[in-house]
Each structure stands twice: as C-alpha cells, then as structure tokens.
Amino acid sequence: MRRLRVGLIGAGTIANSAHLPAIAHLHEELELVAVADIRPEMAEKAAKSYGAEAWYADYRELLARPDIDFVDICTPEFLHHEQVIAAADAGKHIHCEKPMSSTVAEADAMIEAARRNGVKLMIGHSRRFTPRYQKIRAAIERGDIGKVRLVRENERRAASMYDALDRWSGYWTPEGSRPWIASAQFTQGAALTNAVHETDLARWFVGQDGASVYAEARITNPEGEVPDMITYTITFKNGSIGAAEVVNQLPTGYPYFHMMEVFGSDGTIRATDPPMSPYEIWTADGMRFPSNFALLIHVDIAYVNELQQFAAAVRDDTPVPLSPWEARQAIALSVAAVESSRTGRSVLIPAASRPGGA
Amino acid sequence: MSDQQRLAVIGTGAIAAEITDAVRYSTDYALAGSAEPGAALPEGTQVVLNVARGAGQLPVLKSATDAGLPVATLPLETTDDAARAALSQGRVVQVSPLRGFEALEAFRADVRNGATGKPYGIFGAHRVRQGYADLFENVGLPLLHFAFELFDEPLIRVQTTRTALFGAEDDSWFIIARGERDLLITLEFAASLAASAPAPEQILFEATGENAVLRVEPTRQVLMVSGRNGATQDIAWWPNVAPVFVDAAVQTTGIHEPGRELAFLDFVAAVRKSAESGQPVDLR
C-alpha cells in the first residue's frame, strides 16, 4: 500500500493534541512531509517532532509542493474558507478540522471549490468517528429506541482543559491581542468552536435538518470577548428537538464530562460520563477523574479513525466517509444559534438544497 | 404542653396522605389535623401545609390568611389576580415538592450558600414516563420553582419550546431563561421515558460556576440486579420524600418574601406565554 503524503497546516492546539499523534499512529499509511504555521517556530517544532522534512511560515509554499497527496488543515475556523479554497485550487485533497467555517456562505464556497477542482473535502467532525457516538447511531439505526424525538448533550470543559493535556502548543495569539479563541475578531465563540459538535450530533441522530433555534449565550471568562457558554433548543423539521448546554470555563480540574441522552418513542439511550467514568481518585480535596478526556471521548482513536477513513477515500477514489454537506448543515445550525443569542429571538433555519456531489 | 409546632395538612390524595403520615410520626411536629380543601382548619393549627391542587389551592390560602396563620403551599397553579392577592395578603410561601429529596435539599443549600462562586448556569431536568397526566402542574411547576429559588438573581427573559414529542398532547417543555447578571437557566421537563425505562422518573440538576460545579441526580439511587431475568434496576428503596419536605416547608414559612413569591408567578406566566408563540418573553 502506497503511503499518502500529508501536509499539515496549522500547528496549534488541535494539531498537537490530536492530528499529529493520529498521523504518527498511521505511519504505515501516512507520511507527514511538511508543516506550515504562521509561527515558524511552531511549524519547525512540529515538523521535527513528527519527522516531516520541511516547514513553512506561509501555507502557500506547502501547497506549491507537487508531492503532497492531501492537506490536513488544523487552523482556526476563520482561516478555513481561504485555505480550503487555496488547497482545492492547488489540486490537493483536503481534510479540515471542524468547525467548517465562520458562515454558511463560506461553507458553500468551500464545497464548490472542491467540486470545481475535483478534489475530496472532508470536515473532521471527530465525534462521528468516536466509538460511543457510533454505538448510539448504530442503536438508533437498529431501531432500538424507536423514532428519535429528543437529543440532548450537555458538554462541560474546564478552562484549563488543554493545559491539563500537557501539550506544548497553544492557541495562536496575535501580538498585543488575546488568543484567537477568545477574540471577537476571529471567532463567534462556543457555538462554533465546540457546540458545533452538539448541533452535528443532534442532526445526525434525529436524521433531519433544523427548522428553528433559540439560544442564550454569555461570556464567563473575564479575559474573553466571545461567549464561552451557550444553551440552545433546536426544533427539527419533523418536530424533534435537539438541546445542549455547553460551558467551557469551569474550574481547573473539572473533568471533561458530557451528558448525551437520546429519547426515542420506544426507549432511551444515556451515555453520561459521571456514571461511566472508569477511573476515579478520592482524596481530602475531593474526587478526580484523571483519564476522562482520553477514555470517554476516545479522542485519540477518533482522530485515527477519521484520518484513516479519509485517506482510504483518497487512495481508493471513493466518497469521503463524511460529506462536507453534513458539516455545512451543522454550521447552519450553529450560526443560527449565534444569531438567536445576539438578537434574543428564535431564528428560522433557511432551507437549503444539497448540491450534486456534496 | 409540648413545644412542637402544630401542623395542619390540607389536601387530598396520596401526597396528602404521605405528608400527614410524615407529620404524625415526626418527633419535631405535632399533627393538628388533616382536612380537605374547603373544610375548616383543624383546631390549634399553627402552620398550614397546603398540598391541595388546582382549584383547591386558593381557598386554603384564604382561610389560613383569615386566621392569621402562615402557610407553606405547593407552587400555585394559577397566576391570576386572585393568586397574586393571596400571596400579597397572607404569610404564604411556595415550596417545591422536589425539596423532599434530601440530596436536592443539600444541593439547594450549597448553591444558595455560594458554593459555585460566581454562578454561570443552572441546568435542571425532570423526565417521567410517556403518557404522564398533568405534566405542567405535577412536574413542571416543581422544577420551575426549585430552579427559581436557587439564586436570587432577577430574570430578564425567558423562552419556552413546548411540543408533543412522544404522544398527541404537549408532553415536552424546554425552557431557557436569562438573569440580569447573565445567569443562564436551562430547564427541561418531559414525559419522555418509554414504558421499558427501568425507573419511572429521572431528576437531574447541575449548577456551574467559577469555583465549582455541583451535580445532583437523586433518582440515580438504584439497585442493579443481574440474574436469570437479565439486568434490571430495582428502585423500590427510593426514600420517602415526605419527612424532608415537611421540614423544608415549615422552615420556609419563616422566610416570607412576598416580592419573590410574586416574581415566581411572573416567571410561570412568562413560561406559559412564551410556550404559545415560541418567542422569548421579556420579564423586565
């Protein structure tokens, strides 16, 4: 089997915590040949750590290389539109970290660029490749709980989550400014950065597009400019409900707990973390769940599965396992939630037709 | 003569019987008597526990107020002028029956004592079996009141999504409220559990904040049984909630804040109004 040659763009938090280890895990199938990051020292460090032969401060130099089969874009969402279109125009297949984009129009342009250039585009919604969610989907498809009527996932993250992962990278921070993930110049906040997981999962499990959404959001981080907490209720076209409450600024040490519940006409699926935690430590200071991030979300294997299946689609010239249209529809829900939280009104989701090939 | 407070239990049905028994066998209180709504208050009553439902609620408040007695009542099912007058004129406090769960009562005390630090949000859910009758009155109002009491922060906006997900009647309510200092309250009550669900109900609350997250799920108290009939859950030993509820109710009669009682009626009215349109209702 020929190893596919990969160029990685964006050597920040998600690249170092998930993508680069996954590529290394798949070393018999993938070869990391180059890394690009606007911070040259980060590109160099990632390249040297994971065996790439080249690194660049300008991702366009990476795209100009003729020996790259696909690029793995790990930059913030505000860059995805420009970089995905540039990669498609350079004839590269594209695996891109979620969220797909900052707007629906950007997502549509990205899909069109991939179609126009005949390259594959997949957005890395890692939870679609996570065993716990795949098992839930399988149970739904088997009809175990009848017709899905309500999906709720509450997601909790500590402010220090990525520090606790002991990774050596961090969020890109423009000089004199705050990290992009807390800056209104670069992101719309939790609705996109991680609640897009919940909008995507709810839509996947219900099997319908959204009709309307109501959301409230707030900023809890005194250093932040964008909401880091959001709660919303989505009404899908068949009347089913998707609901989530996501907060990213919990106290240091709070476990990465999720509460996924799916209520069907004939039964319920609960995959809530507290009773599932495989490892607990009790001390005078309280209880800790040291392995939550890795064990409950299966973060490592999820990204391995995701990249492996995308690579197989590239190698075999078959459809990607997750259509970019799915990611585009998740963006439609998340940006509608942002609009609702800003206007204080319930927002209708515009109807959209899936283009051929998407 | 005993210094036990003498309580009258007014109401009908199973809940009244359980509360009456809890008072009768309490070492802290004496039972002045029990009666149905509309009957005369038992002689010697010092505190009235009103567990009447529906149209029976307000007459109890009137007779207790006329007698100058404090009343602890289940959350009022009406928000009309008569209800407002009853709350304004008497020494009436509303008490959620969820406070009968000892774990919820401990959670409530910790949250109210500031355990979360700067609060971020409250999440509360109460799920019961599909086909459950009078969902709003029996499940929704207790949930709303319990959540409302966790913080003193005035609410500025509430939105309700109400729909029929599991049957022909509206059986699912999703409520999002915002406080004037940005507290976000997310509540869900629904008749969403299938007949096959091992437990008849699920109750869950979470309080998130700068310093701590508090999580309570009193209905998770189950026995797992694996045997010839497969894996089952035995919930027969869920605690009797009546004694803790009686304590909570009596103690609350000593904290009478008419403004908060009326504000809860405003909240309930807004929840219902928003349910009609799906659009948020401004509470300012």
Residues 270-309 of chain A whose Cβ lies under 8 A from any Cβ of chain B: 274-275
In a domain, A279, yes or no: yes
Q: Tell me if B188 and A243 make a contact (CB, 8 A cut-off).
A: yes
Number of domains making up chain A: 2
In a domain, B260, yes or no: no
CATH assignment at residue B66: 3.40.50.720
The answer on A283 and A144 residing in a single domain is yes
Q: Tell me if B194 and A265 make a contact (CB, 8 A cut-off).
A: yes
Q: Measured between beta carbons, which residues in chain B are less than 8 angstroms from residue A262?
A: none
In a domain, B213, yes or no: yes
The answer on A80 and A110 residing in a single domain is yes
In a domain, B262, yes or no: no
A358: pLDDT strictly greater than 90: no
The answer on B110 and B91 residing in a single domain is no
Backbone φ, ψ for residue B158 (5° rounding): -145, 140
CATH assignment at residue B271: 3.30.360.10
| pLDDT given at position A165 | 43
Tell me the shortest Cα–Cα distance from B194 to chain A, in angstroms: 5
In angstroms, the CA A246 to CA B184 distance is: 11
User: DSSP letters along A253-275, please?
Assistant: T----EEEEEEETTEEEEEEHHH
- In terms of Cα–Cα distance, which of A76, A64, A79, A12 is closest to A33? A64
The answer on B51 and B122 residing in a single domain is no
Q: Tell me if B176 and A264 make a contact (CB, 8 A cut-off).
A: no
Closest CA in chain A for residue B199: A268
In a domain, A68, yes or no: yes
In angstroms, the CA B121 to CA B177 distance is: 10
In a domain, A9, yes or no: yes
The answer on A99 and A132 residing in a single domain is no
| pLDDT given at position A343 | 97
In a domain, B109, yes or no: yes
The answer on A239 and A107 residing in a single domain is no
Q: In a structure prediction context, what are the per-residue pLDDT tens digits for chain B, which is 284 residues long?
A: 468 999 999 999 999 999 999 999 999 999 999 999 999 999 999 999 999 999 999 999 999 999 999 999 999 999 999 999 999 988 999 999 999 999 999 999 999 999 999 999 999 999 999 999 999 999 999 999 999 999 999 999 999 999 999 998 999 999 999 999 999 999 999 999 998 887 889 999 999 999 989 999 988 877 767 777 677 766 666 778 999 999 999 999 988 899 999 999 999 999 999 999 999 999 99
Q: Which of A11-15, A265-269, A322-326 has the highest mean predicted lDDT (pLDDT)?
A: A322-326
Q: Tell me if B280 and A145 make a contact (CB, 8 A cut-off).
A: no
DSSP letter (8 states) at residue B124:
E
In a domain, B261, yes or no: no
In a domain, A357, yes or no: no
Range of the domain at B197: 99-239+267-282
The answer on B169 and B74 residing in a single domain is no
A131: pLDDT strictly greater than 50: yes
| pLDDT given at position A2 | 86
The answer on B104 and B70 residing in a single domain is no
The answer on B276 and B179 residing in a single domain is yes
The answer on B141 and B64 residing in a single domain is no
Helix, strand or coil for residue A125?
coil
Q: What is the pLDDT of residues A273-308, one digit of tens each?
A: 777 676 777 777 776 776 665 555 666 789 999 999
Number of domains making up chain B: 2
A15-19, A122-126, A231-235, A250-254: least confidently modelled range? A250-254
- In terms of Cα–Cα distance, which of A8, A10, A13 is closest to A23? A8
The answer on B103 and B91 residing in a single domain is no
Range of the domain at A314: 4-126+301-319
* pTM for the structure as a whole: 0.90
Q: Tell me if A241 and B213 make a contact (CB, 8 A cut-off).
A: no
Q: Measured between beta carbons, which residues in chain A are less than 8 angstroms from residue B197?
A: 267-268
Q: Which of B120, B159, B161 sits opposite A247 (nearest CB)?
A: B120
High-pLDDT (> 90) share of chain A, %: 74
Residues 124-183 of chain B whose Cβ lies under 8 A from any Cβ of chain A: 125, 127, 130, 157, 159, 161, 163-166, 172, 174, 176-178, 182
The answer on B153 and B36 residing in a single domain is no
CATH assignment at residue A158: 3.30.360.10
Question: What residues contact residue A293 under an 8 Å CB cut-off, 6+ apart?
Answer: A161, A164, A165, A256, A299
Give the sheet arrangement for strand B155-163, strand by strand: B213-216, B201-209, B119-129, B184-193, B172-179, B155-163, B281-282
A167: pLDDT strictly greater than 60: no
In a domain, A176, yes or no: yes
The answer on B140 and B46 residing in a single domain is no
The answer on B133 and B21 residing in a single domain is no
The answer on A121 and A96 residing in a single domain is yes
- In terms of Cα–Cα distance, which of B109, B104, B94 is closest to B256? B94
Can you read off the two tokens belonging to residue B156?
């500025």
In a domain, A353, yes or no: no
The answer on A208 and A158 residing in a single domain is yes
The answer on A186 and A144 residing in a single domain is yes
In angstroms, the CA A169 to CA A14 distance is: 9
The answer on B276 and B175 residing in a single domain is yes
Question: How confident is the model over A343-356, as a mean pLDDT?
Answer: 90
Helix, strand or coil for residue A75?
coil
The answer on A64 and A28 residing in a single domain is yes
A33-37, A144-148, A169-173, A321-325: least confidently modelled range? A169-173
Q: Tell me if B213 and A254 make a contact (CB, 8 A cut-off).
A: yes
Q: Measured between beta carbons, which residues in chain B are less than 8 angstroms from residue A268?
A: 192-194, 197
Q: Tell me if A150 and B172 make a contact (CB, 8 A cut-off).
A: yes
In a domain, A66, yes or no: yes
